[in-house]
Amino acid sequence: MKGTDMNLPIKFPSDAEVIREEAARFRTLSPEDRMRSIRGMLAAGALIMRQSPKAAFLREYTLEQENRARQVVKEFIARHAGCSPGEPERLGPVVREKLDQ
């Protein structure tokens, strides 16, 4: 039946419609409920990653991405704080502590 439209009694929404409706529902949530929803999604993703047959790879990949992000932030701060990554003494103690994490 390639190329023919079927007149089904069921109408499925487009992906765009579904995303629009979910975004509208999310916007109606309180800030606390939004955070709870986001934490739930992150927890579900972490559970899926832990149960995956590729869990070791995913753990290593995640750490690698976190390290890359940390390095990019260090470079950004150094570039915009007017110092090189080798001279963090010009930055405040809170920023230096965050960079060292």
Render pLDDT for 52-65 as a digit per residue (tens, 0 to 9).
999 999 999 999 99
C-alpha 43/C-alpha 39 separation (Å) is: 6
Q: Which of 97, 43, 40 is nearest to 74 (CA)?
A: 97
Whole-model pTM: value is: 0.55
Residue type, 61: Y
Per-residue pLDDT at 77 exceeds 80 = yes
Per-residue pLDDT at 78 exceeds 90 = no
Q: Are 70 and 57 in contact (CB under 8 A)?
A: no
Which of the two residues, 28 and 2, has the higher pLDDT score?
A: 28
Per-residue pLDDT at 37 exceeds 90 = yes
Tokens of 55: 């869990």
C-alpha 74/C-alpha 76 separation (Å) is: 5
State the chain's mean pLDDT as an integer.
Answer: 85
Residues 6+ apart with CB under 8 A from 85: 74, 75, 78
C-alpha 26/C-alpha 37 separation (Å) is: 9
